[in-house]
């Protein structure tokens, strides 16, 4: 299968960060959504995978699942000052309650001498959120409050 032409892109928005993340699978699209969120905050190419966190997210639908996944990652940033550059969504499962995601995030403690400080993400929002599949590619659109 041929590779994605791009993992994510920043869309036009007046005040916040509006993102479209892509993937050949829903799991890959969730990984790229997480990467895009941290790219808003820093240059992820300079973040080394020194620390690994295992995370679980859940939601009654895929929208709440995306929100919870990004929110859990944001909590890691705010509680332990961790920035991430690599993500592996191991599974997204449908459960009787909705959906459950299991994944890993790899990164390191933010170091201002090595990591560019861009815009701080205050929160994940449901604003303009879309999840769909087009031409065999999953598309996740969402807005981050900055």
Please report, for residues 23, 64, 104, 122, the alpha-carbon distance to residue 93 in angstroms, rounded to integers and kept in the order given.
Answer: 17, 14, 16, 28
pLDDT, tens digit, 9 for 90 and up, residues 126-146: 999 999 999 999 999 999 999
Q: What mean pLDDT is predicted for residues 84-98? A: 97
| Sheet strands (E) in 60-97 | 82-95
> Could you give the CA distance from residue 107 to residue 51 in angstroms, rounded to a whole number?
5
Question: Does the pLDDT at position 11 exceed 80?
Answer: no
| Percent of the chain whose predicted confidence (pLDDT) is above 90 | 89
> Could you give the CA distance from residue 98 to residue 69 in angstroms, rounded to a whole number?
14
* Tokens read off for 4: 């994605």
CATH superfamily of 8-145: Archease domain (3.55.10.10)
pLDDT, tens digit, 9 for 90 and up, residues 31-66: 999 999 999 999 999 999 999 999 999 999 999 999
Residue 9 has a pLDDT of 84
Residue 1 has a pLDDT of 47
Q: Residue ranges of the domains in the chain?
A: 8-145
**Residue 21 binned pLDDT confidence (cut-offs 50, 70, 90):** very high
Residue 3 has a pLDDT of 65
Q: What mean pLDDT is predicted for residues 90-107? A: 97
**Residue 12 binned pLDDT confidence (cut-offs 50, 70, 90):** confident
Q: Which neighbouring-strand residues pair with 20? A: 9, 141
């Amino acid at each position: 299968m041929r590779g994605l032409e791009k993992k994510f892109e920043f869309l036009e928005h007046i005040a916040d960060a509006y993102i479209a993340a892509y993937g050949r699978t829903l799991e890959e699209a969730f990984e790229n959504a997480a990467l895009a969120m941290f790219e808003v905050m820093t240059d992820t190419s300079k973040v080394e995978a020194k620390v690994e966190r295992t995370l679980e997210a859940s939601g009654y639908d895929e929208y709440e699942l995306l929100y919870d996944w990004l929110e859990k990652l944001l909590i890691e940033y705010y509680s332990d000052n961790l920035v991430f550059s690599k993500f592996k969504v191991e599974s997204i499962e449908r459960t009787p309650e909705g959906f459950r995601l299991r994944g890993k995030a790899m990164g390191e403690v933010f170091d201002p001498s090595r990591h560019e400080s861009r815009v701080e993400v205050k929160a994940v929002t449901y604003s303009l959120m879309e999840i769909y599949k087009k031409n065999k590619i999953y598309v996740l659109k969402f807005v981050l409050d900055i």
